[in-house]
Structure 1
Amino acid sequence: MYRNFKIVPNIIFGRGCFNQLGDILKPKRTDADAYMVFVLDDVFKGRALEGRLPMEKGDLLLLVNVDDEPKTKYIDQLVDQVRAYSPRKPDGIIGLGGGATMDIAKAVSLMLNNPGSAADYQGWDLIKHPAVYHVAVPTLAGTGAEISRTTVLTGPEKKLGINSDYTLYDQIVLDPELLAGVPKDQWFYTGMDCYIHDVESLNGTYLNEFSRAYGEKSIDLCRQVFLEEHPDKDDKLMMASYFGGMSIAYSQVGACHALSYGLSFVLGTHHGIGCCITFDYLEDVYPEGVKEFRRMMEKHDIHLPRNLTKNLDDKALDTMANVALGLAPLWENCFGKDWKNVMTKERVLELFRKM
């Protein structure tokens, strides 16, 4: 059987296209009392981007904090805040920021139309009702959150996405100008999330020609960005992120992402740097990918943190391993249906102890 999956139906790309956001939203405003919710990373508070938002009278601005990875309880609080603002639902949710902010906006748009807590929907295809209309405006490139059917959240028991066709954005606005001024380390770690998507997809057992076509183009763009010199590197990275997300849409990520989820659940490690930390210990799984990744780190003078798990007790390490091993599709993509005999709990624990 083949998956009949959805993709984002409306995409605008190009330098300066953010200026068209107001025109894109206008037809979605239903009447004079309608409002939109702009979900903006609070790093932009008081900065130029906040002043450029095409907000109209009655619109709500939610400044969200992503110092920590998004948690289900934080999503519940934001949904309550929107509901307290108005008895009617917004006509749209617009997420502006990096992967975490875009995931928050996706989750809020879903939970406005689905009862209960966000934690109730961590898993695959548990959402029953379509989301409120939602738009992504990435200001970082690499996570693929703008094109993904997943909103990655940390719940009380696990770190696991809300995976649903309803999670997908209705519109994405890809303006490379918005990537200007990103700190080097953050730019690298987020971009490596894309590179690792490609390595895991292209080396996975779920690979098919659909995934290969997108993955090969994405990894080629990543090499141009991180190993060469190009004046339009932000344009290339933004498209690499899109193609990388499309590559895993019909396949899956693998061992690195599974391990990074465990690391993040216990230590709160941000996704991009968490993937880099775990990937660096997987040369026996992805030998060529890790070798090239280290060349990219050397070129950009990136130094990963070490000894993160040194002082963790057995209980914390056990939790970390259980979270990682709970992501069965990722391991199956990496090692096949016999993955449990390849990636044993002891092997996972050994990897985490090295970190």
Structure 2
Amino acid sequence: MKFRNFKMVDYVIFGRGAFNQLGEIIAPHRKGDAPMIFFIDYHFEGNPAFAARVPLQGKDKIVYIDVTDEPKTKVVDALRDQLVAEFGTVSGIIGVGGGSVMDMAKAVSLMMNNPGSSADYQGWDLVKFPGVYKVGIPTISGTGAEVSRTCVLTGPTRKLGMNSDFTPFDQIVLDPELVRGVNKDQMFYTAMDCYIHCIESLQGTYLNAFSQSYGEKALVLCQEIFLQKEKWDDDADDKLMMASYAGGMSIAYSQVGVAHAVSYGLAYLLGTKHGIGNCIVFDKLEEFYPEGVKEFKQMVKKHNITIPQGITKGLSNADFDKMIDVSLGMAPLWENALGKDWKTIMTRERLRKLYEQL
């Protein structure tokens, strides 16, 4: 048997107020007068108090990242070109925001040191050189992007990550204070990304003791937060941030499954955001994850969340074919969910019927 040699995040700091140590953390990684570039979710753009907490020095720069759409390869390439033209090189990229911002930070970091377009590296182990120093600081919990070895991008022909050992962050800062004030629905959709990570990992064919230990812990935390707690409090924020981390670790050493494979098609064609897309799909997956979907529906009801329905109504045959092509391109996800014979189980016709339910 051949075992995976697993690349993890190098350094992790966790705790309320940990963000205040960012200047101290990144100081040893500054290279001459090359700046640190801070990619910050554009929702913070009108928040001068938050901007004042960013430890800027010299030519350091804040770039606000519009997350209306999920990260696109052409945007990654344009940001890389802009930074090269302005500075030549940079000391590092710090991503502050949700999964889209952290994916953008990882991607631009890699593209600072790899030639061509980021679209050239969509796939597994295609990246040839380490990126510049990169830090991930989540401001919403659930995606697991802080520990993932991928940065998911929508390219000219597909939605697929730059999956490589060079992709994980060099440092993550987990500060539960940063998630205060997140919209309730958005918080839920993103948190369910973590819950779905756990279900797909724990029921997948790639499951092993490493991924199982993290997945089980993350699942218990999600159940406590969304089914047992009667009110949201600081403890819930702390535990959800750790659930996101553990859920990300679980899939990093195994894989996700049907919900993610199907939601990639929605994202590519319709621009559906990752968290809500997973919820829309998972809501219809009783056939594959009966207990998980039952519990998910209980969480939706308890927290009075609306899951959009009928989003594929009226699509053309060409539209369905494109979603099916994108989804079936996620071979490791399908193999984890259905086994090595997944191609005979998940036919195009069966996947078309599933998309028609959404």
TM-score normalised to the size of structure 1? 0.98
Write the distance in 1 (CA, Å) between the matches of 2:50 and 2:350. 46
Give 1:62 shift: 1.0
Write the distance in 1 (CA, Å) between the matches of 2:263 and 2:216. 23
Write the distance in 1 (CA, Å) between the matches of 2:30 and 2:157. 38
- Please name the residue that 1:310 is paired with: 313
> Quick one: which amino acid aligns to residue 104 of structure 1?
M
Give 1:204 shift: 0.2
Q: Deviations over 1:4-57 (max 9, x none)?
A: 0110010000000100000001111122x2210000111100213222111112
Write the distance in 1 (CA, Å) between the matches of 2:51 and 2:223. 33
- Please name the residue that 2:81 is paired with: 80
Q: Does 1:94 align with 2:97?
A: no
> Quick one: which amino acid aligns to residue 77 of structure 1?
A
Find the residue that maps to 1:244 and give its secondary structure: helix
Find the residue that maps to 2:31 and give its secondary structure: coil
CA RMSD of aligned residues (A): 0.8
- Please name the residue that 2:214 is paired with: 214
- Please name the residue that 2:112 is paired with: 112
> Quick one: which amino acid aligns to residue 53 of structure 1?
V
- Please name the residue that 2:170 is paired with: 170
Give 1:227 shift: 1.1
The structure 2 residue matched to 1:337, chosen from 334, 337, 340, is 340
**Pairs within 5 Å for 1:234-249:** 234-249=237-252
Q: Does 1:41 align with 2:41?
A: yes
- Given that 2:67 and 2:100 are in contact with CA atoms closer than 8 Å, whether structure 1 keeps it comes out as yes
- Please name the residue that 2:18 is paired with: 17
- Please name the residue that 1:103 is paired with: 103
**Pairs within 5 Å for 1:248-327:** 248-327=251-330
Write the distance in 1 (CA, Å) between the matches of 2:137 and 2:220. 24
Give 1:247 shift: 0.4
Write the distance in 2 (CA, Å) between the matches of 1:349 and 1:73. 29
Write the distance in 1 (CA, Å) between the matches of 2:257 and 2:51. 37
Write the distance in 1 (CA, Å) between the matches of 2:324 and 2:57. 48
Write the distance in 2 (CA, Å) between the matches of 1:254 and 1:227. 23
- Please name the residue that 1:69 is paired with: 70
Find the residue that maps to 2:68 and give its secondary structure: coil
> Quick one: which amino acid aligns to residue 172 of structure 2?
I
Write the distance in 2 (CA, Å) between the matches of 1:134 and 1:106. 7
Identity fraction in percent = 61
Write the distance in 2 (CA, Å) between the matches of 1:350 and 1:256. 14
> Quick one: which amino acid aligns to residue 101 of structure 2?
T
- Given that 2:257 and 2:334 are in contact with CA atoms closer than 8 Å, whether structure 1 keeps it comes out as yes
Write the distance in 1 (CA, Å) between the matches of 2:134 and 2:318. 40
> Quick one: which amino acid aligns to residue 336 of structure 1?
G
Q: Does 1:6 align with 2:7?
A: yes
Write the distance in 1 (CA, Å) between the matches of 2:242 and 2:131. 25
Find the residue that maps to 2:151 and give its secondary structure: strand
Write the distance in 2 (CA, Å) between the matches of 1:76 and 1:112. 9
Structure 1 stretch displaced more, 306-315 or 47-56? 47-56
Give aligned pairs, total.
353
Find the residue that maps to 1:173 and give its secondary structure: strand
Write the distance in 2 (CA, Å) between the matches of 1:46 and 1:184. 20
Q: Deviations over 1:271-308 (max 9, x none)?
A: 00000000011100000000000000001101111111
- Please name the residue that 1:197 is paired with: 197
Structure 1 stretch displaced more, 327-336 or 220-229? 220-229
Write the distance in 2 (CA, Å) between the matches of 1:49 and 1:260. 33
Give 1:261 shift: 0.1
- Given that 2:34 and 2:87 are in contact with CA atoms closer than 8 Å, whether structure 1 keeps it comes out as no
- Given that 2:16 and 2:176 are in contact with CA atoms closer than 8 Å, whether structure 1 keeps it comes out as yes
> Quick one: which amino acid aligns to residue 13 of structure 2?
I
Could you tell me which runs of 5 or more consecutive residues in structure 2 were left unpaired when the two chains were aligned: none
Write the distance in 1 (CA, Å) between the matches of 2:6 and 2:356. 38
- Please name the residue that 2:224 is paired with: 224
Give 1:60 shift: 1.6
Q: Deviations over 1:242-279 (max 9, x none)?
A: 00011011110000000000011000000000000000
Write the distance in 1 (CA, Å) between the matches of 2:270 and 2:31. 44
Q: Does 1:128 align with 2:128?
A: yes
> Quick one: which amino acid aligns to residue 259 of structure 1?
V
